[in-house]
Structure 1
Amino acid sequence: MEASKQYRWGTLVTEIIMVLVALLFLVPFYFLFVNSVKTFGDLLTNSASWPKTFEWHNYSRAWDITNFPSALWNSLVITVVSNVLLALFSAMASYRMVRHNTRFNRFLFMIFVAAMVIPFQSIMIPLVKVTSTLGLMNSIPGLIACYLGFGVPMTVFLFHGFVKSIPLEIEEAATVDGTNIYGTFFRIVVPLMKPMFVTVIILNTLWIWNDYLLPSLVLQSPDLRTIPIATFAFFGQFTKQWDLALPALVLGILPVIVFFLAMQKYIVEGITQGAVKG
């Protein structure tokens, strides 16, 4: 009985701590929302108070000024296409390097690892020049190509370690049954790599969706602006329109929240499978 009571108290304390931590993480969202429906004057007077009146027209103004539907579409296309290509190419490259452990493939993997430590700021000027020379400036395909170049090293590194943990006997059995290398990869290996696909998609989605610097260098047309670039329009050199910037930020994070809510089942499954496998 005493042990059971201690267990209940321990569980209760743990749950209370978890609730407090969750509330702590929700504090920034509270400030973001309550200030997004205030007038500019109320926002500057007391940013922590509950709004006196809800200025919902802040959202409509931010929607119109940022041309939010266009920015949302551009961000979705860039994020989805970049994610698919990064995951597919990196998974195939990693599989090849692990299963064909030649000297050249080991050297190639070391190049990928070395590329991970190169800061973007050191190569952004040459990148713009190369992109311009190739005729890829001010185009969504050009930006996607840049994301592939910068995202492949880290993604290959993650997949490379995971492929090593997949038993080779499974693939050998598939080969004995007459499955070619493509069937083995897509029908046997790819389903086993689901936990790593989930991890890669989460990391790359957050990176690409929130990125400002690279799109600002490559995309110059107002019609090609992504959500971070469109939101930055409210931050001038001398003035900052917080009453419009905050609603724009809320609109910008809503698609990400919807994405994680919609994919929650698959994210939990992928993480659980990865934990069991580990």
Structure 2
Amino acid sequence: MKEHKGLRIGHYAIAILFTVVSLYPIFLMLLSSFKTNIEIFKNPMAFPKLWTFDAYRKLLDQLPYFDYFWNSVFVSVTSVALILISGALVSFYIARFNFKWNPALFFFFLLGMMIPVKLGIVPLFILMKTLGLMNTSFSLIFVYTAIGIPMSVLILVGFFRTLPKELEESGKIDGCSDLGILVKIIAPLMRPALGTVMIMNFITVWNDFFFPLIFIQDEVKKTIPVGMLTLFSEYSTDWSVLFAGLTLSSLPMIILFAVASKQFMEGMTAGAVK
């Protein structure tokens, strides 16, 4: 019993250590957003001598930050919604319908995870320019949706195959169509998998710097990662303003993970125990 108790204490100690290591950079970022530049350089680890919101005021004065924020929200939410809808439909077909090309179709989607998308940036640039989508949010949405679907198909197909087919048979007896079975019966049971796909893709889209830098030129259409780049000057950087912007930009991800963390953990551990 004592050994078991000691082992549990050791597990808790390790978990607390990892928690502190993970949260400390976020805590330091938050503290730095309330400091002046001089304080950040003199005492980077200390609490602010005077708590001030000057960095946040400067951020909103120097940048169209709310434009960046809503652009990021629109691109991220729309991309994730399209990934969830497309991934669920494709995965349901692959997992539940017997067709000789299903393995090849599944492998085709998995190829999207094997090929680095950034290697095709020149053809993508030409394609977006030909379609007239350059300098629009839809160029980002289409690219992020295409990038996110392979991973979502991999996760969702595995989850679909763990569900008993009797659920669908009972739905058909009640007169449900295949789409009705997916929406009314299967989707509610897939919340852990859908939560996992949602969080992983939202974080990827929200933090991406590369594609907005290539496809977006207008200042008011930029997303947060690219818009924040203007805070870096050639000779100096106002770090307090930068930390204020990073603090605000991290809030949606923290809120999303807090709301959907239960589904995310269930989705990551499902199938580990029979």
Scaled by the length of structure 1, what TM-score is found?
Answer: 0.89
Instruction: Provide the rounded CA distance (Å) in 1 between the counterparts of 2:95 and 2:263.
Output: 26
**Residues 142 and 53 (structure 1), Cα distance of their counterparts in 2 relative to 1, 3 Å cut:** same
Instruction: Compute the displacement of 1:209 (Å).
Output: 0.8
Matched, 1:110 2:87: no
**Contact 1:195/1:273 (8 A) holds in 2:** no
Q: Name the residue aligned to 1:16.
A: 13
1:51-80 per-residue CA deviation (whole Å, 9 max, x = no partner) reads 233342011111232322211111111111
Instruction: Compute the displacement of 1:202 (Å).
Output: 0.9
Matched, 1:79 2:79: no
Instruction: Provide the rounded CA distance (Å) in 2 between the counterparts of 1:114 and 1:264.
Output: 29
Q: Name the residue aligned to 1:34.
A: 31
**Contact 2:191/2:263 (8 A) holds in 1:** no
Q: What residue ranges of structure 1 are gaps of 5+ in the alignment?
A: none
**Residues 220 and 94 (structure 1), Cα distance of their counterparts in 2 relative to 1, 3 Å cut:** same
**Residues 111 and 264 (structure 1), Cα distance of their counterparts in 2 relative to 1, 3 Å cut:** closer
Number of residue-to-residue matches in the alignment: 274
Q: Name the residue aligned to 1:96.
A: 93
The amino acid across from 2:159 in the alignment is F
Q: What residue ranges of structure 2 are gaps of 5+ in the alignment?
A: none
Instruction: Provide the rounded CA distance (Å) in 2 between the counterparts of 1:119 and 1:155.
Output: 17
Instruction: Compute the displacement of 1:210 (Å).
Output: 0.7
**Contact 2:196/2:263 (8 A) holds in 1:** no
The amino acid across from 1:116 in the alignment is M
Instruction: Provide the rounded CA distance (Å) in 1 between the counterparts of 2:4 and 2:256.
Output: 37
Instruction: Compute the displacement of 1:38 (Å).
Output: 2.2
**Contact 2:199/2:256 (8 A) holds in 1:** no
Same amino acid, percent of matched pairs: 29
Secondary structure at the aligned position of 2:105 is classed as helix
Scaled by the length of structure 2, what TM-score is found?
Answer: 0.90
Q: Name the residue aligned to 2:166.
A: 169
User: 111-120 or 229-238: which moved more?
Assistant: 229-238
**Residues 161 and 13 (structure 1), Cα distance of their counterparts in 2 relative to 1, 3 Å cut:** closer
**Contact 1:74/1:226 (8 A) holds in 2:** yes
Q: Name the residue aligned to 1:67.
A: 64
Matched, 1:205 2:237: no
Q: Name the residue aligned to 1:181.
A: 178
Instruction: Compute the displacement of 1:131 (Å).
Output: 0.7
What is the RMSD computed on CA atoms of the aligned residues?
A: 2.3
**Contact 1:63/1:248 (8 A) holds in 2:** no
